[in-house]
Amino acid sequence: MKPETRKAWIDATRPCTLPASAAPVVAATAYAWYDGVLVWGAALLCLAFALLAQIASNMGNDYFDYKKGGDTPDRVGPQRAVVSGLISPRAMLVATLAVLLTACCVGLCLVYYGGWQLIPVGAVIAIFALAYSAGPFPLSRYGLGDVTVFIFFGIIAVNFTYYVQSGVFTMPVFLASVAQGVLAINILLVNNYRDMEEDAACNKRTTVVLFGRRFASTWYLLNGFVATACTWQVWCAASYWLLLLPALYLFMHIATYRQLVQLRGTALNPLLGRTSVNLLCFTLLMLLAMILNRTML
How does pLDDT run across 237-272, given as a tens digit for each residue?
A: 878 888 999 999 999 999 999 999 999 989 999 999
Which whole number is the average pLDDT over 8-16? 93
Classify domain 3-292 at the CATH class level: mainly alpha
Rounded Cα distance, 95 and 56, in Å: 8
The residue that leads in pLDDT, 140 or 99, is 99
How does pLDDT run across 31-83, given as a tens digit for each residue?
A: 999 999 999 999 999 999 999 999 999 999 999 888 876 565 556 767 788 98
> What is residue 21's predicted lDDT score, i.e. its pLDDT?
96
Which parts of the chain fold into alpha helices (H)?
Answer: 3-12, 19-34, 40-67, 89-109, 111-114, 118-131, 145-150, 157-166, 171-194, 196-201, 207-211, 213-230, 232-235, 244-262, 269-296
For residue 135, count CB atoms less than 10 angstroms from its CB and return exposed for 0-12, middle for 13-18, buried for 19 or more. exposed
- pLDDT over 90 (residue 143): no
- CA-wise closest residue to 18 among 65, 50, 64: 50
- pLDDT over 90 (residue 84): no
